Chains A and B, each alone.
Chain A
């Protein structure tokens, strides 16, 4: 009667807090378990819902509004929110709701692509640094130290100043702004994974460093890197919005959230709603990434929860 026994013992399982003990007859795929933990986390689910909503608004923007985000209409400038213009219009008579949902295409995608760039650059460097150690590690880490001494935004700002404003350079700048953090994270992962028995076993079977880095060390760092990338997407969005606010980001008339904030700043005391709504969506986007990131971390890395 092994099944009956295991069912009775399930609540007494020694599984760490947060890890669901496999119930009898249930597929005990650990990844599914983690997803279940994630799905139980209300804050994380809320984050998913908010982000999903923002993404849907951006994707289906043409279906949701008949106003163009860039078409000026001076006769309809400075209108308060109404049934016609849900969130009002800006100084040039453009519908703010329309600009916000179209703007999501810029801000969200730049944020995500920037984090992708950061991961693609930072993770290999960090892994190599941690796995090879020695001089390579020293050089990479000292450069990282220098980069880390600037804050992400300042670094991005310097890069934009060098490359000029515009969609491409903002994306790259925001990405490079968070690269050093990824290097550090990946190095730490490599340092701990290289001591695992399976890495030693792979060495003992004659695998070369590249295979070990790619096969074992990279694969085993995917989870923490994903979690970190999610958390950093929020940071990247703030950097992009910040650059936009300063007029160094995506150039007008493109409806990027940060530049909308910047443009509305002039009229803040007369028409505060113009700044409120872009600010609110930036807040919601960053919040949702942070909530999702925290949820992922709690689900996949129970050791770090408080």
Chain B
């Protein structure tokens, strides 16, 4: 296989504060190939957004934010790139569609101007050309009246329209890596589907690598080729999407899958994972998931030894669980509600 588009190697991000340091991302390694869709799944606070900020080189470079490891994008290390190099990368080769479409457009500027700014950030093109490109982009993201849209202010647009505008800005330079940070959380279901179609289309047209940060497992199942599951700043399981959904080898992934509402059976209750993620300032010594894990059951090893990401099952499938092999016996759907400790 050729060199990956993006290779994160042993990335750690620590925020240092007076009250102690917070390890937001710990020794994360992952790769994204050209044309591939990688889903990054995890609860709020699992470090997925911070990791992507690091990839974009958007983490503040102060003493309070300590990063280590490598983020190789097209062979160059983003963490060590100069401001100028970063600016050349961003938007042109590496684009981020921010999380919240309601706040990511400047309220005092017409939408057209902001779109033009994104276009002009990397090339000097005549005004007429910029306008034509802007309208072309807005048409391509399925906005019905691109000319009118350009003259509107953000408050005149719906969430879906803003999100599409952000996507238009993201794909303006056909970047080779597109990071979408929870692209659908603020949208209703029909718009979600349209937006995801659009991202998929943009991706296949230009062979873009797409990183989808989300906690919507349905979206991941539908869109992603491979999945990375994060918990408390670490990767706990990774593999291709079928394997992860059919035969998860980490109890956390399993918990996530079980907590999805099932329409098929008659159960009236959701099955949440008991407990909460650990406080990032005081992570347990052993496995971060141990206090909530149904497999651990007080086993000493879980509480004292940090599990490493090790191959499990099929090729490319890795799990960071000491007892990953026990997961084989517990196939999805076999764990009934009675076994669970209802909180």
Q: Which of A65-73, A168-176, A215-223, A252-260 contacts B (4 or more CB under 8 A)?
A: A215-223
Binding stretch for chain A, among B94-102, B319-327, B330-338: B94-102
Given the interface contacts A205-B121, A206-B90, does A200 sit within 8 Å of B108 by beta carbon? no
A30 to B89, CA, bound (A): 37
> Which chain A residues (91-146) contact chain B, with CB distance < 8 Å?
none
User: Binary interface profile of B, 108-128, with partner A (CB < 8 Å = 1, else 0)?
Assistant: 110001100110011000000
Is A202 located at the chain interface by the 8 A CB criterion? yes
How many residue pairs bridge A and B at CB < 8 Å? 76
The answer to whether A215 and B98 have CB atoms under 8 Å apart is no
- Contact flags A192-206 to B (C-beta < 8 A → 1, else 0): 000011111111111
Q: Which of A235-294 contact B (CB under 8 A)?
A: none
Report chain B residues within 8 Å CB of A196.
103, 106
Interface range for A: 20 to 34
Is B9 an interface residue when CB atoms closer than 8 A count as contact?
A: no
The smallest C-beta distance from A132 to any residue of chain B, in angstroms, reads: 12
* Contact string against A for B residues 183-206, beta-carbon threshold 8 Å, 1 for contact and 0 otherwise: 000000000000000000000000
Given contacts A203-B58, A204-B58, A206-B92, contact A198 B117 (CB under 8 A): no
**0 or 1 for each of A206-231: is its CB under 8 Å from B? (1 = yes):** 11100100011001101000000000
Shortest C-beta distance, A255 to chain B (Å), equals: 42
Q: How distant is A34 from chain B, measured CB to nearest CB, in Å?
A: 13
| Chain B residue total in the interface (Cβ 8 A) | 31
Q: Is B166 an interface residue (CB 8 A)?
A: yes
A204 with B121: CB separation less than 8 A: no
Question: Which residue on A lies nearest to B102, using beta carbons?
Answer: A197
Q: Scan residues 161-190 of chain A and give those whose CB is less than 8 A from a CB of chain B.
A: none
Which one, A197, A208, A215, contacts B113 given CB within 8 A? A215
Are B90 and A30 in contact, CB atoms less than 8 angstroms apart? no
Distance of A208 Cα from B86 Cα, bound (Å): 11
> B133 an interface residue at 8 Å Cβ cutoff?
no
Interfacial chain A residues near B170, Cβ < 8 Å? 205
Given contacts A206-B92, A215-B106, A216-B106, contact A201 B121 (CB under 8 A): no
In the complex, are the beta carbons of A204 and B95 less than 8 A apart?
yes
Which residue of chain B lies nearest to A197 when distances are taken between CB atoms in the complex?
A: B103
Find chain B residues with CB under 8 A from A205 CB.
90-91, 95, 117-118, 121, 169-170, 172
A198, A206, A220, A222: which contacts B105 (Cβ < 8 A)? Answer: A198
Q: Which residue of A lies closest to B119 (CB)?
A: A205
Q: What residue of chain A has the Cβ atom nearest to residue B88's Cβ?
A: A206
Given contacts A197-B98, A204-B58, contact A211 B106 (CB under 8 A): no
Shortest distance between the CB of A233 and any CB in chain B (Å): 23
**B117 cross-chain contacts in A, Cβ below 8 A:** 202, 205, 207, 211, 215
One of A203, A204, A206, A219 near B106 (C-beta < 8 A): A219
Contact at A219–B109, with CB atoms within 8 Å? yes
A219's nearest neighbour on chain B, judged by CB, is B108
> Min CB distance, B45 to chain A, in Å?
18
CA of A202 to CA of B117 in the docked complex: distance in angstroms?
A: 8
Choice from A30, A198, A204, A220 contacting B96 with Cβ under 8 Å: A204
In whole Å, how far is A74's beta carbon from the nearest beta carbon of chain B? 59
CB neighbours (8 Å) of A203 from chain B are 58, 90
Residue of A nearest to B170 (CB): A205
Q: How far is the CB of B179 from chain A (nearest CB, A)?
A: 9
Residues of the A chain whose Cβ atoms lie less than 8 Å from the Cβ of B104: 197-198, 200-201
Q: Give chain A residues whose Cβ lies under 8 Å from the Cβ of B113.
A: 215
B92, A204: Cβ atoms under 8 Å?
A: no
Residues of A within 8 Å of B172, CB to CB, are 205
21 contacts between A and B (CB under 8 A): A196-B103, A197-B103, A197-B104, A198-B105, A198-B114, A203-B90, A204-B90, A204-B95, A204-B96, A205-B118, A205-B121, A205-B172, A206-B92, A206-B118, A207-B91, A207-B117, A207-B118, A208-B121, A216-B106, A216-B109, A220-B108
Q: Which 9 A-B pairs have the closest CB atoms?
A: A206-B91, A205-B91, A206-B121, A197-B103, A206-B90, A204-B96, A201-B104, A205-B118, A198-B106
